[in-house]
Amino acid sequence: MAQALYIAAASIFGLLGFLHLVYTLFSDKFHAYDPAVNEAMESSSLILSRDINMWRAWIGFNASHSVGAIMIAAIYVPLALNHLDLLKTSVWFSLFPAVLGVCYVVLARLYWFRFPFLGISVATVLFIWAAVLIRS
C-alpha cells in the first residue's frame, strides 16, 4: 500500500510540474491581464544584476519551479517501484517528500491559486500516509 501511495503522490507532483512547465513556456497563462505589466517587467532589470530583466527572471523562476516538482516524480516513482527497501530503512527518504509536500502546501496556500493548492494537498496527504505506513 505504501508503494502505491508514494507513486500516486509523486505522480501528482510530476503532473502538476509538467503542466506548469507547459503553461510557462508554451502559453500566456502566466502573463498579466494588463499588458503594461508585462512590458514593465521586460523593461526593468533586477537590482541583483542588470543582465536579466524581470520578465526573464519570472519565466526562469517558474520553469525551474516546474523542474523541481517534476524531479520529485522522477526520483520517487522509480524509488518506490525499484527500491522500496530504501524507503523502509531510511528515515530521510521515507519522510522527505512529506516534509517537502508540507512546504509546498504552505506556499500554495499563501501565494498560489486553488488548483495547485488542492493537488499538492492531496499529494502531501498521500506522502504522509505512505510515510506512516512504511515507518510502522
Q: What are the boundaries of each domain within the chain? A: 2-135
Alpha helical stretches, state H, the chain: 2-26, 35-43, 54-82, 84-89, 91-111, 114-135
Residue 113 has pLDDT above 90, yes or no: no
Residue 94 has pLDDT above 90, yes or no: yes
Res 112: pLDDT: 87
Distances (CA, A) of 67 to 15, 22, 28, 49, 86: 11, 11, 19, 23, 24
Cβ count within 10 A of residue 134: 21
Residue 95 has pLDDT above 90, yes or no: yes
Residue 2 has pLDDT above 90, yes or no: yes
Phi first, then psi: give them for residue 49, nearest 5 degrees. Answer: -160, 130
**50 HSE (CA, 13 A, CB side):** 0
Contact 108, 120 (CB under 8 A): yes
Phi first, then psi: give them for residue 83, nearest 5 degrees. Answer: -140, 45
Share of the chain above pLDDT 90, in %: 93
Q: How do residues 12-70 score in pLDDT, each as one tens digit? A: 999 999 999 999 999 999 999 999 999 999 999 989 888 999 999 999 999 999 999 99
d(CA 87, CA 90): 5
d(CA 57, CA 45): 9
Res 96: pLDDT: 97
Eight-state DSSP code of residue 48: S
